[in-house]
Amino acid sequence: MPDMIRIDHLTKDYGQGRGIFGLDLSIKKGEVHGLVGTNGSGKTTTMRHLCGFISPDSGSCEINGMDCRRQSDRIMKGLGYVPGQIDFPDVGSGTNFLKLQAQYLGIKDMSYVSELTERFGIDTSAPLKRMSKGMKQKMALVAAFMSKPDVLLLDEPSTGLDPVMRDELIDLILEQKQRGATVFMSSHIFKELEDTCDTVTFIHNGKLVNTVSKRNYDPEELPKLYRLGFAGQEEYLEFKNSTAFETDSFNDKYLHLTVSVPQDRINELFAQLTGYDMRYVRYVPYSLEMYYKRVIEQGGNV
């Protein structure tokens, strides 16, 4: 598969350590790629480069072989963008806005647009300025998806959405993948990244930390995490000091700890627990979030 998006040593220095520094990234055609980072880590700056809104200090980025800054008008023919900040043109109602966007994009058949607005439950006759944050976000999503673009750049697309709509968005993203679109989305909500992304890139302070594919952060064969809550302090301490399993985290006050147990040693764990008075045993799903925390704790060196 050829690369749809290529970011090559992209650097934009805003001073005081802000910006992005030497970012390298390539996203294959048809891939759903997530971009994770804390606030101010450079997610939006990356997106702005891809949209051709800003010029890099050095390095380059291209979409479908075209330079993002110089050929942005050609790139935009097949690109949908959900900006990180949502403020609409001053055109009155939502219907006006969507009609206008359709004209910009040369869309004549509005049936997919009405399908999308229905799906998200948007009352488009409402004035844009009166819309709630979530409603505005849904309008932005419709505007980005309406042309069925080949590439979708989504900057925190689920901001302000309720859980039901968030699931709807995940379905929609998966449908785009189905029809062969390339999706690059930034987010700090791990659930939606886990549900949609083939690959996730972590950035921190404008530098790429790591790129992991789905099987690396959610493999069946990785050790599983269990949280064990003990009834008494003595037992808690005894187990803590004697266990053969790697302790992932613990809390002396609440008398619980989390152990990392390889798949084939699960019975060993329960055998050891037999004599203890337990409050609970809970399986902790291994998530992108934990992966991310670990990455950040280790100072970005994985």
Partner 1 sequence: MMFSLPLFKQSVRSNCVLWGAMTSVLSVLCAQFAALDMTQNLLFLIFYGMMTTILPGVYVLVTANKLIAGQVDRGSMAYVLSTPIKRTSVVFTQMVFLIGSLVGMFGVMTLVHLGVNQAKPLSLATAMGMGAAGGNEAMAAAVTGDLTSKMILQVNLSALVVCIAMAAVCFAFSGIFSSSKYSIGLSGAFVGVTVLANMLAMFGSMGVSGLDKFKYLTICSFYDYKSVLLSGSEWIVKLIFPALIAAAAFTAGSLVFKKKDLPL
Residues that bind partner 1 in the complex, under the rule CB under 8 A: 48, 51-55, 72-74, 76-77, 79-81, 83, 85-92, 96-97, 100-101, 103-106, 143-144
Non-local CB neighbours of 64 within 8 Å, separated by 6+ positions: 4, 75, 78, 150, 151
Of 74 and 207, the one with the shorter C-beta distance to partner 1 is 74
Taking alpha carbons only, the member of 98, 76, 97, 75 closest to residue 146 is 98
CB-count exposure of residue 27 (10 Å: 0-12, 13-18, 19+) = buried
Q: How far is the CB of 191 from partner 1 (least distance, A)?
A: 26
Of 73 and 221, the one with the shorter C-beta distance to partner 1 is 73
Q: Which residue has the tokens 């301490």?
A: 237
Q: How far is the CB of 19 from partner 1 (least distance, A)?
A: 11
Q: How far is the CB of 3 from partner 1 (least distance, A)?
A: 21
**Phi, then psi, of 81 in degrees rounded to 5:** -130, 130
Distance (Å, rounded) from C-alpha 126 to C-alpha 45?
32
Q: How far is the CB of 84 from partner 1 (least distance, A)?
A: 8
Of 104 and 283, the one with the shorter C-beta distance to partner 1 is 104
Q: How far is the CB of 61 from partner 1 (least distance, A)?
A: 14
DSSP string, 219-238: -TTSPEEEEEEESSHHHHHH
Distance (Å, rounded) from C-alpha 200 to C-alpha 40?
18
Of 139 and 259, the one with the shorter C-beta distance to partner 1 is 139
Of 81 and 245, the one with the shorter C-beta distance to partner 1 is 81
